[in-house]
C-alpha cells in the first residue's frame, strides 16, 4: 500500500501530537506501507520522516522547488519529486496512492484535506480518507462537516467520504476497512 500523509510543519505544537505521529509512523513501517508526504523536516512532517527512515521504512517527499531553495526539504529523505507550483504538488500527492491520512496541522494541512474531500465528492478521487483526531484536535472540523450535512449543503452519503479516528493504531485498520467510493459520485455531488 502507498499512503499520502498530510500534517503540520510547526515544531511548537504539543508533544502529544509528536507521540501520535511516531506511533503511526511505526504502524506504517510494520505494515509495509510506503508514505508520500510534503517533504518537510520540521514539525509532524519531520517526526514522520525521521521515524520511518530510522526504522527502515519507505518515504517519498513531494515539494515545490521554491521550498527546496529555502532548504525546507528533509535532508535524509532520498526519494524526492520537485514541482513547479503548489497546485502541481497537491495534484501529485493524489496520484498512485491507495489512501490519504491527515494528522493535525494548520492551514496547509486543512486546505490539502478539504481539496481531497472536494475532489472525492466530485468523483475525481476515490480513495479512503482517514483523519487522526489526536486530543480531539479535529472536533471543530468534524462538527463543521456534520453541519454542512445537517443544513443540506451536502448529503448524508457524503459523510462516508472520510473516517475520523482518535488513536494512531486505528489508522491502518480504518484505511483497510473503508468502503469503496462510488465512481458515479458526480451524480449526487449536490442537491438540485
Ligand atoms: P501546515 O499544516 O500549515 O503546517 O502546512 C503543512 C503544509 O505547509 C505543507 O504541505 C507545505 O505546503 C507547507 N509548509 C509550511 N512550512 C513548511 C516547511 N517548513 N517545510 C515544508 N513544507 C512546509
pLDDT, residue 179, reads 84
> What's the gap in Å between 9 CA and the centre of ligand 1?
5
- 159's grid cell: 459523510
> What's the gap in Å between 8 CA and the centre of ligand 1?
6
pLDDT, residue 177, reads 96
> What's the gap in Å between 47 CA and the centre of ligand 1?
13
pLDDT, residue 88, reads 98
Ligand 1 pocket, residues with Cβ under 6 angstroms: 8-10, 38, 40, 42, 67, 72, 105-109
Ligand 1 atom nearest residue 39's Cα: 21
Longest CA pairwise span in the chain (Å): 52
Pocket perturbation via mutation, ligand 1, pick of 5, 13, 36, 38 by most ligand atoms within 8 A of CB: 38
Residues of the chain with pLDDT under 70: none
Q: Treating both helix axes as pointing N-terminal to C-terminal, what angle do 15-30 and 43-54 enclose, rounded to 10 degrees?
A: 40
Q: Quick one: which of 116, 125, 187, 119 has its CA closest to 155?
A: 187
- 118's grid cell: 472536494
pLDDT, residue 119, reads 97
Question: Domains plus CATH for the chain?
Answer: 2-188 (3.40.50.450)
> What's the gap in Å between 120 CA and the centre of ligand 1?
23
pLDDT, residue 183, reads 80
Residue nearest ligand 1's atom 22 by CA: 40
For residues 158 and 181, the answer to whether their CB atoms sit within 8 Å is: no
Q: Where are the alpha helices (DSSP H) in 42-170?
A: 43-54, 65-69, 86-93, 107-121, 139-150
pLDDT, residue 182, reads 86
pLDDT, residue 169, reads 98
Residue nearest ligand 1's atom 12 by CA: 108
Amino acid at each position: 500500500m502507498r499512503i499520502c500523509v498530510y500534517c503540520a510543519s510547526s515544531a511548537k505544537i504539543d508533544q502529544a501530537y509528536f507521540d501520535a505521529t511516531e506511533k503511526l509512523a511505526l504502524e506504517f513501517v510494520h505494515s509495509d506501507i510506503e508514505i508520500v508526504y510534503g517533504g518537510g523536516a520540521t514539525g509532524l512532517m519531520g517526526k514522520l520522516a525521521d521515524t520511518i527512515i530510522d526504522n527502515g521504512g519507505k518515504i517519498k517527499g513531494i515539494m515545490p522547488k521554491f521550498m527546496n531553495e529555502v532548504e525546507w526539504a528533509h535532508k535524509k529523505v532520498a526519494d524526492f519529486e520537485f514541482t513547479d507550483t503548489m497546485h502541481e504538488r497537491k495534484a501529485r500527492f493524489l496520484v498512485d496512492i491507495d489512501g490519504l491520512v491527515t494528522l493535525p496541522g494548520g492551514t496547509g494541512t486543512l486546505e490539502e484535506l478539504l481539496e481531497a474531500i472536494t475532489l472525492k465528492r466530485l468523483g475525481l478521487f476515490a480513495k479512503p480518507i482517514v483523519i487522526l483526531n489526536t486530543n480531539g484536535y479535529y472536533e471543530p472540523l468534524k462538527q463543521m462537516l456534520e453541519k454542512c450535512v445537517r443544513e443540506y449543503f451536502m448529503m448524508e452519503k457524503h459523510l462516508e467520504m472520510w473516517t475520523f479516528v482518535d488513536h494512531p493504531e486505528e489508522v491502518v485498520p480504518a484505511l483497510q476497512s473503508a468502503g469503496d467510493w462510488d465512481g458515479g459520485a458526480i451524480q449526487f455531488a449536490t442537491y438540485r
